[in-house]
Structure 1
Amino acid sequence: MKLTIPYGKDEAQDLVIPDENFAGVIYPNDVTVGNESDEIRRALDNPAGGPTLEEFLKGGKDVVFIVNDGTRPTPTRKVLDALDERMDLSSARYLIATGSHRAPTDEEYDFIFGKHYQPLKDKIYSHDSKNDNCINLGKSKNGTEMEVNEMAVNADRLVIITSVEPHYFAGYTGGRKSFLPGVASYKTIEQNHKLAMKREAQALVLDGNPVHEDMMDALEVVKGKQIFAIQIVLDRHQNIYKVEAGDLHKSFAAAVAHANEVFSVKIKEKADIVVSVAPYPMDVDLYQSQKALDNGKWALKDEGIIIMVSKCREGVGHPTFLQQLSLSSDPKEVLENLAKEYKLGYHKAAKMAEIAVWANMWAVTELDHELLKKANIRPFYKIQDAIDTALSLKNDAKILISMDGSITVPRVE
């Protein structure tokens, strides 16, 4: 079987797998996609609870849009194209929900805003969780201090443009994540993400998920804020499949149902080797690419090999998690160390160490090999080399390829 594995923005790596070892390729499920502009208009005209956008904006003196950063596939620019027919986009301000990420690059700003970037440039602000003035709005039930960017707090109308897909510890992206971690302070994000250390925090799970429940509790403190949400579900080709708009919670619930149709993928059985690809733009760094590992684990047999493929264009990313993984060659000891104290990024180390307890983690990246070895990750530059090595260890191994591992969640039927 000959395959082409995505690598970076415009590159690829060739892979040949013996037919007797090939278990298949999985993607998000195919769904029928109509006209994207019509779907956006349908959602805006028929909100899932609450007023239409035009009614919502009436009387608004300080309208702020919260939009995702460039590490997410959210087609913000397409939504803005549709909104341009209904409102003066220059009458609003735009806040990039970076969470704890860096500000977007020029290329990413163009990806986010498209043709609207230059006209709106002076009205766009990138949230800085460490340096921006964030206002304390109280605490969630779990004690998370809800500190939110003053630009969002002071606005009299908030419009959220986001996308909904599986998230490895929040259950799903979208909805409440635009606030926490989107435009929250570093301290708030750290307190919330500590809950990701719990095993109940996993993909496709909302009920009983402590991270999701904390986010929902935290939103109670901004209950009086007027919010209009536009939530998008993409297909596997990153075309718009469904859009839900209006009330934040009702539109999120509707979008989650659509997301399951796309991203929850049934498989007949688990494989000995799983190749999980983090495609562009999810391949920005190791910190973000880890999601492909976490999703791929659901298709992997005990003591199997999971191979993450990601260019990691900007390196490691947040270095804290890699430092923790490098403290011991025993993943159980890593988990014991992580339980003693929490800093932002430790949840990544915990999720990876949990996998390392029962499986082997390999990676095809451009990262320094010694760096990865210290973190108990076996490094390769080419996927073919990784597969050949794996088959030399188990020549009858079955190999499953997840081509969009960052958002595909395999489930055994």
Structure 2
Amino acid sequence: MLKKLSLKYGTKDFHFKLPDQSEILSLKDPDRKITAAQFKSRVQRELNRLRPHLSDVAIVLADKTRLCGYPIFLPVLVKTLREFGAAKNNITMYIAYGTHSRQTEIESYEVYDETYNNYRFVHHDCRENKIFTKLGETKRGTPVYMRKDILGSSFIITFGAISHHYFAGYGGGRKLIFPGLGRLDAIYKNHGLFLDQQNRVLSTSCLPGVLKGNPLAEDLAEHETFRPADLSIHGIIDSRGNVCDLLPGGGKDHFLKACRQHGKNCEINSDKLYDLVIASCGGYPKDINFIQSHKALHHASMFVKDKGDLIVLAKCSDGIGSKTFLPWFEQGTWEKAFDRLSKNYQGNGGTALSMMSKLRRINISMVTELDDAICKTIGAKKISMDQAKERVERFSDSIAVITHAGLLVKRVSL
């Protein structure tokens, strides 16, 4: 008898019948769910420990692509800060877009709820060079620019979810300040470390869940030392997007502890590869656009045999999500794209090269709202949901199903 399983696509669930030999690769969702009262107590404890000056408080938040229970927990944070003496007009929220596009007012309200109307929000623009001050350079040559208003703040708080990042090791934490509030040329310089120019390949050390020995992650860690956050609130999220834990604290060890906790829930220690993998990004917002969906695609590809097949459910209601991704496919070959990117790293060039690299090894099909022409350009075969269901149901070789590929990662050690 065929097994049945629901896979998310956008905001909807679609039911699949799975052959007997199929294996379901799933997360270990935490049992606990932190309450607002528990969060408040932890923030109070940290504020009592730090005794900060609250004359000018900066709170750095993620955008719509990395939700962290802001409607519930952001009001708790600002209320607690005010109870410790911070004036309402002295609290500013910064949206850490990095190179992402600015959200609309409606989207911002959906992400941050009433706090968005009641407090000052700054929409970061990485291209606005005049807002930055240069503090120096990292050993790998990344210029360290920071916003002047952030440097002038008396107390900096970062608040966002920990996640795997397909070439930076982990997202969230220190990445909220850089690249989240970074300058464009500095972001590109750091991301350019994804390219191993000596061996003309993508760096084999730039992997999800890998920090030690990862040149890009180590560059981020050095960048952080120029002006670290005074308080970092790391969110642990389950497969449904619920906030299971919030960890206020500070320093490298605190960040690594949060990464380990996230990794314990989301990493699989397995060398097994499959002839076919069908993967859902995990639905909205994990599949909001291709740039975000690619992370799930990348994670899932690590479970596919050479010459095997990957089917990804990625709605991509916002399209590609970048104007700097598709032009790299116009270079003609992987080698030409690599050469040009090596000389002048720009935009989502690394993501484009990563996609091209996977297509050299496996076949990729997508259930998506992306145009047929776009799918053809990026080398993915566009199929319907019914075609995906039929392919899976009739498949006779080894097959794995990943319900939340945006979160699930194969554990890798260097």
Do they fold alike, i.e. is TM over 0.5? yes
247, 252, 264: which one pairs with 1:249?
252
Moved over 6 A (4+): none
127, 141, 144: which one pairs with 1:143?
141
Match of 1:215 in 2: 220
Structure 1 Cα separation of the partners of residues 276 and 161 of structure 2:
30
318, 323, 328: which one pairs with 1:314?
318
Match of 1:92 in 2: 91
Structure 2 Cα separation of the partners of residues 263 and 80 of structure 1:
25
**Aligned pair in 2 of structure 1 residues 111, 251: CA closer, same or farther (>3 Å)?**
farther
200, 203, 210: which one pairs with 2:205?
200
1:351 aligns with 2:351: no
Structure 2 Cα separation of the partners of residues 5 and 212 of structure 1:
32
Is residue 279–residue 300 contact of structure 2 (8 Å, CA) maintained in 1? yes
1:137 alignment partner, SS class: strand
Amino acid of the residue matched to residue 318 of structure 2? E
Match of 2:169 in 1: 171
Alignment of 1:229-308 (within 5 A): 229-267=232-270, 269-278=272-281, 279-308=283-312
Q: How far does residue 149 in structure 1 lie from its aligned partner after superposition?
A: 2.1
Match of 1:68 in 2: 62
CA offsets per residue over residues 179-224 of structure 1, 9 Å max, x none?
111000111111111112322111010000111111111122226x
Amino acid of the residue matched to residue 158 of structure 2? I
1:200 alignment partner, SS class: coil
CA offsets per residue over residues 273-312 of structure 1, 9 Å max, x none?
1122222112221112100111112211111111221111
1:207 alignment partner, SS class: coil
Q: How far does residue 326 in structure 1 lie from its aligned partner after superposition?
A: 4.6
Structure 2 Cα separation of the partners of residues 400 and 332 of structure 1:
32
2:321 alignment partner, SS class: coil
TM-score of the superposed pair, with normalisation by structure 1:
0.88
Match of 2:185 in 1: 187
Q: How far does residue 37 in structure 1 lie from its aligned partner after superposition?
A: 2.2
Is residue 144–residue 188 contact of structure 1 (8 Å, CA) maintained in 2? yes
59, 77, 81: which one pairs with 2:75?
81
Amino acid of the residue matched to residue 202 of structure 1? L
Structure 2 Cα separation of the partners of residues 142 and 185 of structure 1:
17
**Aligned pair in 2 of structure 1 residues 204, 58: CA closer, same or farther (>3 Å)?**
closer
Q: How many residues align?
A: 397
Unaligned stretches of 5+ in structure 1? 47-51
1:386 aligns with 2:388: yes
Q: How far does residue 54 in structure 1 lie from its aligned partner after superposition?
A: 4.5
Amino acid of the residue matched to residue 272 of structure 2? E
Q: How far does residue 97 in structure 1 lie from its aligned partner after superposition?
A: 0.5
**Aligned pair in 2 of structure 1 residues 275, 340: CA closer, same or farther (>3 Å)?**
farther
Match of 1:110 in 2: 109
Structure 2 Cα separation of the partners of residues 252 and 55 of structure 1:
18
Is residue 54–residue 86 contact of structure 1 (8 Å, CA) maintained in 2? no
Q: How far does residue 8 in structure 1 lie from its aligned partner after superposition?
A: 1.4
Structure 2 Cα separation of the partners of residues 339 and 16 of structure 1:
45
CA offsets per residue over residues 375-400 of structure 1, 9 Å max, x none?
211112x23313535788xx423322
CA offsets per residue over residues 2-21 of structure 1, 9 Å max, x none?
33321113x2333333x235
Match of 1:401 in 2: 401
Structure 1 Cα separation of the partners of residues 329 and 42 of structure 2:
44
**Aligned pair in 2 of structure 1 residues 32, 210: CA closer, same or farther (>3 Å)?**
same
Amino acid of the residue matched to residue 346 of structure 1? G
CA offsets per residue over residues 121-169 of structure 1, 9 Å max, x none?
xx11110111261221111111001112222122121111111121111
Amino acid of the residue matched to residue 74 of structure 1? C
Amino acid of the residue matched to residue 122 of structure 2? Y
Is residue 68–residue 243 contact of structure 2 (8 Å, CA) maintained in 1? no
Structure 2 Cα separation of the partners of residues 141 and 323 of structure 1:
31
Structure 2 Cα separation of the partners of residues 43 and 169 of structure 1:
32
Is residue 244–residue 252 contact of structure 1 (8 Å, CA) maintained in 2? no
Q: How far does residue 235 in structure 1 lie from its aligned partner after superposition?
A: 2.0
Structure 1 Cα separation of the partners of residues 366 and 334 of structure 2:
17
Structure 2 Cα separation of the partners of residues 289 and 145 of structure 1:
29
Structure 2 Cα separation of the partners of residues 221 and 35 of structure 1:
32
Match of 1:16 in 2: 17
**Aligned pair in 2 of structure 1 residues 342, 231: CA closer, same or farther (>3 Å)?**
same
Is residue 15–residue 383 contact of structure 1 (8 Å, CA) maintained in 2? no
Amino acid of the residue matched to residue 170 of structure 1? A
Q: How far does residue 323 in structure 1 lie from its aligned partner after superposition?
A: 2.4
TM-score of the superposed pair, with normalisation by structure 2:
0.88
Q: Percent identity?
A: 24
Structure 1 Cα separation of the partners of residues 344 and 78 of structure 2:
48
